Amino acid sequence: MPRSRPASRRAPVDEANRLKPGPLLAMALSVVVVASCGSSGVRSPIGSIPPSVGASPRPSPDLTSSPMGTAELTPSASPAASLTAFPAPSTPPASAVLVTHGRRDRRWIALTFDADMTPSMLARLRAHEVASWYDPRIVAELRSSGTPATVFLTGLWAQTYPDIVQSLAADPLFEIENHSFDHSAFRAPCYGLPTVSTDAARRKELSDGARAIAAAGGGTPIYFRFPGGCHAVTDLELVAALGETPIAWDVVSGDAFQSDPKVVVRDVLAGVQPGSIIVMHLMGAPNAPATANALATLIPELQARGYEFVTLREMLAG
């Protein structure tokens, strides 16, 4: 059974009534880029782990994985004053080794949610082509069940929904981490994402994302997730040099563009094991419409199997 956790320090914000996007960025966009970051199908995934990145349900010849849940790519591999809101008792130093799971000798698992936001997604929101890039039902389900989770925010998402960022940061169930500034891929090809091609641009993606999260009230991230999971070994070193540890996953929920929650439930239950890091998405429809409904089944089912939900900082602290 999950251990008791402190109640939120303040009543949750009514996110459904406070989704007020921030200032419109100056842009001239004629092509909609679909965000990528974790799926298991052939569609443009917003969460798929590339075959040569992290720990996918399918083994990769380019992956070198240790029993402690870290992985590195071969050099040629490709897709392949702010508050610290969650000061872990023993926060590990930044590492240049990709973390894909926690310890396998205890039944802890971590739910992680990516909040993607590209400039084209922001343009669609401003044009009222989509109602929102946030599904409040996901957070409501986590709160009502007392389930901790880790949320990886892009900087654009944090700027667009600062009230939601502050609500999550104020709740001890959640921790907030970095998912780049505008979900640009660090390496190409990467599911059609725009790509940054220099180390200077990659450092800017990471540092601007962290600054935007802190400015929105989300604290100081210590973990970083690559957009689309696409990276090379030198990118791992770049992330660590800026004080963050790269995080991937070992369970793809398959919620990207999936309308059937039963499929998401099936995929998670098929892959989960002690120490698993599960990748899901926070945006809701149209990119991840089944996530909230899948959680309503997954959370009690995983607890019935003896798993305990923890945040990444708790899982990786020792």
Check residue 59 and give its pLDDT.
Answer: 29
Per residue in 212-266, pLDDT (tens digit) is 999 999 999 999 999 999 999 999 999 999 999 999 999 999 999 999 999 999 9
Task: Flag whether 59 is in a domain.
Answer: no
Per residue in 191-223, pLDDT (tens digit) is 999 999 999 999 999 999 999 999 999 999 999
Task: Flag whether 169 is in a domain.
Answer: yes
- What value does the mean pLDDT take over residues 10-31? 37
Task: Flag whether 17 is in a domain.
Answer: no
Which is higher by pLDDT, 69 or 165?
165
Task: Flag whether 64 is in a domain.
Answer: no
Domain that holds residue 178: 90-316
Whether the model pTM is above 0.85: no
Residue 11: pLDDT over 60: no
Task: Flag whether 2 is in a domain.
Answer: no
The three state secondary structure string of the chain is: CCCCCCCCCCCCCCHHHCCCCCCCCCCCCCCCCCCCCCCCCCCCCCCCCCCCCCCCCCCCCCEEECCCCEEEECCCCCCCCCCCCCCCCCCCCCCCCEECECCCCCCEEEEEEEECCCHHHHHHHHCCCCCCCCCHHHHHHHHHHCCCEEEEECHHHHHHCHHHHHHHHCCCCEEEEECCCCCCECCCCCCCCCECCCHHHHHHHHHHHHHHHHHCCCCCCCEECCHHHCCCHHHHHHHHHCCCEEECCCEECCCCCCCCHHHHHHHHHHHCCCCEEEEEECCCCCCCCCHHHHHHHHHHHHHHCCCEECCHHHHHCC
280: domain CATH number is: 3.20.20.370
Check residue 90 and give its pLDDT.
Answer: 55
Task: Flag whether 55 is in a domain.
Answer: no
- What value does the mean pLDDT take over residues 20-46? 38
Task: Flag whether 210 is in a domain.
Answer: yes
At 93, is the pLDDT very low, low, confident or very high (cuts 50, 70, 90)?
A: confident
Check residue 37 and give its pLDDT.
Answer: 59
Which of 34-43, 130-139, 273-282 shows the lowest mean pLDDT across its residues?
Answer: 34-43
Task: Flag whether 25 is in a domain.
Answer: no
At 62, is the pLDDT very low, low, confident or very high (cuts 50, 70, 90)?
A: very low
Tally of structural domains, the chain:
1
Q: What mean pLDDT value characterizes the chain? A: 80
